[in-house]
Structure 1
Amino acid sequence: MADKLRREHVWSRMFLFRDNDYLNPFTAKFILQAWFASASFLLVLMSLTWLSSSQLFSGLRTNPLPAVSLEVCAWSILQPHVSLLDVPPIGRSEFLSRQATLANALREAGVDAFVAEPSASTAYYANISSSFGLSERPFLVIIDKERRFSYLVPRFEAGRIANLEMVYGDDGKRVVEWREEESPYEVLVREMAWLGKVMLDEHARFMIATGLRGAGIEVVPMSAEVQALRSVKTAAEVAILKAINSFTLELVRSLQKCIRLGVTQEAVVAAGHSLFTRAGVGAGFWSIALFGDQAAYPHGGKFGKTLEAGEFVLIDIGSTLHGYGSDVTRTILPDGASVSEELMNIWRTVHAAQEAGFSHMQANETCADVDAASRVPIEDAGYGAFYTHRLGHGLGLEVHEHPYLNGANKEKLKLGEVATNEPGIYVTTEQAKQVGKDVGFGVRLEDPILMSENGGEPMTGHRARSPYDP
């Protein structure tokens, strides 16, 4: 016994307490046993942690999150359609032609120049994107009646702005710089004294109009004639709009084939974003996905809704290609799913309303008349009070632009304009009893339509045929 204790004492001094000559051998034995027990516990804990992690990552591989599995499924269907996006951007010659047309319109309007902040208008005339951040320091693009191109810029920003891929004629550009201690508007008047009367872009902020007027420049609003220059699309613009909108419809069709009960609204939105991104056009993405009674709110209700049996799926989605947008809505059913015959009849009513509007979407029809035509089938079905918005809006460099198809707009549609056709019926759960239902619902169908010489032309390629064939 004494020899055993002596050996343990020596071992403990060698490995644990080498500098402690007064350690009691019984204490050393107790500490050693505790140390071995702790080490064993840590080894077991590490093993369990590794096993749990392995099971977790294995589970992620075999049971993907709904958005991921939805994306993978849809991409296998959508990928062959990516070639739809193979159209060129607007070329330099078209930008210069637009500037020349604007200059002619300015002369006819009796104004010296057109003034705009970075916006859809500067994107249209000079390839200066509306994504350029605005601040309290004015950066103004000026195209005059002689087609000369100028801009007013804060001096310390001059280098950054010079690097923008703006388009101007062979005679170059004029840059007017202002220092922080100067009034930009007074500098503009000093350097371009011939600016007596200017037409201000519809997107320009009130402070710009105030500043110009304060410096003695007469400011007039954008005329309908100049506004129409951008609403009427060229062949190159139509090609881009057809490309992005037909691709967007194919994306919705791919989602319809892959959505299953139990998926969340957010998973559908996330999958849509991923699909656009995979195709290289995710930067301008936006989307609304609504199930069942949440679709009673045209632009969205609560978060976290999962798809249940007997519910429609409403997807309103779009992105951009070369700056031009898509805007497509379908109310769909996944393969194998169904809704009541009453809800199917509501879908058919909205489809008939879209057809009625479509038949009037041609040049020289007023926006109000087109809107009114779309309301007749819905009113006849007893749901007139639940068609709560205009029929549509223009589409181009902005997702919402002129012309606006509402009951008060007597403006006539023009050849080359593109406008959406998107009737809908929206009944909240609180309103459902008014129409003999227990639960709310929403149905909308939307296609952008080109006003062509042959009448309306869907930019998506075709309109919906059924909830199973969007």
Structure 2
Amino acid sequence: HCSHIRPPSPDTFHRRQAGLIDALLSVGATAFIAEPGSTGHYFANVSLQDWRLSERPLLLVIAPTEGSKTSLEPRIIILTPKFEGTRARLRLLLPSKRPVEFVEWPEDENPYNVLSRHFHNTQDRNASLTAILDDPMRLFVADGLSEAGWTRGNRQSQIRMIRESKTEEEIEILKCANEVTLLAIRAVRQNMYIGMRESEANEWMKQALVRASRCTQRIGLALTIFAVNAALPHGGAPDKILERQDLITFDVGGTLHGYWSDVTRTFALPESHIPSRHLEIWNVVKEAQNAAFKVAVKGVKAKDVDRAARSVIEKAGFGEFFGHRLGIGIDLHESPYLRGDSQDHLAVGNTFSNEPGIYIEREIGVRLEDCFVVEEDGSPLLLTSGVGGPARSPWIM
């Protein structure tokens, strides 16, 4: 399904790096520093799949070229343990217009001092060192940089804004990842039967994702919950046998070229006999999802999208059982979020998960989830629209 979708090109990474350098120059920062992770992946193709975190820090550093007032050729620096230097050069495929600078720190030296010394040796020795640090950086790494003379800048929000506005290239990846996930859910449903266990259905779901793995690359989650167990949003109750009166919830996601899908369906089988109260709850959740989608246009506050869904559920008498939020991208959950306290305004290129749910412990849990993007004209577009989009009823998904 996604064989035509290519990963981000080197030119894409160069544009992202240029945008990052422009942000650094605008605030007078020396560098942006990150550990392997989603932000490292976004700017330089350095993800946790490429390099696992350990007590020995490996850091990605992106900095303006000394004396440059433009972002044409950022410096890409990798601070690596010396004994891992060769592996870092072989394993990390870094898109850079300039030769990547690999700075090795020996076991008997402080890595952060080694990085500071490298900067002082390659630019004005008297210049102060100010770094914008990636938000998820571990505390001991941030503290180590501070002790080595780095002043921490406070403009992480500018870095987040670069990632929050998805390009057409990113949107096409996200679309295909979400489409193939929904197709996998539908394929598993066709073979399910009354009397099977949650664990069996979950294994089928994992197998479906494995078959799609040439498209999705990595399975992120395959959550399968029946009936009352779905009242706990992430499950955890004993393995249940599917009965005729039970609704089924699949919450499924994987990644394509590092970008996440996240699709949830609560549904019934053709032979199911769902209690009328549970069908009422399903319809309320569906109405809430529709309400949120209708108001999710450019310029609207994220909290107002949450409020649109919340109002429907409160009016139906289920307000205390409501849950709703989330954004999506390289991180499964990333800003901006559809949250009741969010002051963020929806902008072109923002992507969100529209995931209202009602969770009544010891009775039932229902949620529906479809991701969407705010398009150039300011309107929302479902990332699953290419394969039929949202569920229409518990039997039509």
Contact kept in structure 2, 1:248 and 1:326, CA below 8 Å: yes
What residue is the counterpart of 1:358 in the other structure? 293
Q: How many residues in Structure 1 have an aligned counterpart in Structure 2? A: 376
Contact kept in structure 2, 1:318 and 1:327, CA below 8 Å: yes
What residue is the counterpart of 1:404 in the other structure? 337
What residue is the counterpart of 1:40 in the other structure? none
Local SS of the residue matching 2:209: helix
What residue is the counterpart of 1:376 in the other structure? 311
Deviation sequence 1:145-194 (CA, Å, 0-9, x none): 33111111110000111112422323211111110000011111111125
Do residues 272 (structure 1) and 191 (structure 2) align? Answer: no
Structure 2 Cα separation of the partners of residues 195 and 145 of structure 1: 14
Cα distance change, pair 331–378 in 1 and its aligned pair in 2 (3 A): same
TM-score with structure 2 setting the length: 0.92
**By how many angstroms is 1:338 displaced?**
2.2
**By how many angstroms is 1:306 displaced?**
1.1
Structure 2 Cα separation of the partners of residues 154 and 195 of structure 1: 25
**By how many angstroms is 1:454 displaced?**
4.7
What residue is the counterpart of 1:444 in the other structure? 367
Unaligned runs of 5+ in 2: 66-73, 121-126
**By how many angstroms is 1:198 displaced?**
0.5
Local SS of the residue matching 2:326: strand
Contact kept in structure 1, 2:217 and 2:257, CA below 8 Å: no
**By how many angstroms is 1:334 displaced?**
0.9
Paired AA for residue 352 in structure 2: A
Local SS of the residue matching 1:198: strand
Deviation sequence 1:357-385 (CA, Å, 0-9, x none): 11121221111111111111110110000
**By how many angstroms is 1:257 displaced?**
2.0
**By how many angstroms is 1:109 displaced?**
2.0
Aligned pairs (5 A) from 1:155-166: 155-166=82-93
Contact kept in structure 2, 1:282 and 1:319, CA below 8 Å: yes
Structure 1 Cα separation of the partners of residues 128 and 259 of structure 2: 32
Contact kept in structure 1, 2:209 and 2:219, CA below 8 Å: no
Contact kept in structure 1, 2:210 and 2:219, CA below 8 Å: no
Structure 2 Cα separation of the partners of residues 468 and 195 of structure 1: 63
Contact kept in structure 2, 1:256 and 1:335, CA below 8 Å: no
| Among 137, 159, 164, the residue aligned to 1:226 | 159
Provide the identity percentage: 35
Structure 1 Cα separation of the partners of residues 269 and 22 of structure 2: 53
Local SS of the residue matching 2:91: coil
What residue is the counterpart of 1:116 in the other structure? 34
**By how many angstroms is 1:229 displaced?**
0.7
Structure 2 Cα separation of the partners of residues 367 and 195 of structure 1: 39
What residue is the counterpart of 1:210 in the other structure? 143
Paired AA for residue 384 in structure 2: T
Do residues 139 (structure 1) and 58 (structure 2) align? Answer: yes
Paired AA for residue 30 in structure 2: D
What residue is the counterpart of 1:105 in the other structure? 23
| Among 254, 268, 282, the residue aligned to 1:347 | 282
**By how many angstroms is 1:224 displaced?**
1.5
Deviation sequence 1:229-248 (CA, Å, 0-9, x none): 11111111111100010111
| Among 190, 212, 228, the residue aligned to 2:117 | 190
Paired AA for residue 442 in structure 1: G
What residue is the counterpart of 2:14 in the other structure? 96
**By how many angstroms is 1:129 displaced?**
1.4
**By how many angstroms is 1:323 displaced?**
0.9
Paired AA for residue 201 in structure 2: V
User: RMSD of the alignment, in Å?
Assistant: 1.3
Aligned pairs (5 A) from 1:307-318: 307-318=242-253
**By how many angstroms is 1:197 displaced?**
0.3
Question: Which structure's CA Rg is the greater one?
Answer: 1
Do residues 293 (structure 1) and 236 (structure 2) align? Answer: no
Cα distance change, pair 186–84 in 1 and its aligned pair in 2 (3 A): closer
Unaligned runs of 5+ in 1: 1-82, 430-439
**By how many angstroms is 1:273 displaced?**
1.2
Paired AA for residue 98 in structure 2: D
Structure 2 Cα separation of the partners of residues 203 and 164 of structure 1: 23
Structure 2 Cα separation of the partners of residues 124 and 338 of structure 1: 47
What residue is the counterpart of 1:457 in the other structure? 381
Do residues 423 (structure 1) and 341 (structure 2) align? Answer: no
Contact kept in structure 2, 1:153 and 1:177, CA below 8 Å: yes
Deviation sequence 1:234-289 (CA, Å, 0-9, x none): 11111110001011111112222221111111112111111111122353331111
Contact kept in structure 1, 2:14 and 2:97, CA below 8 Å: no
Do residues 327 (structure 1) and 246 (structure 2) align? Answer: no
**By how many angstroms is 1:222 displaced?**
4.6
Q: Which moved more, 1:266-275 or 1:110-119?
A: 266-275
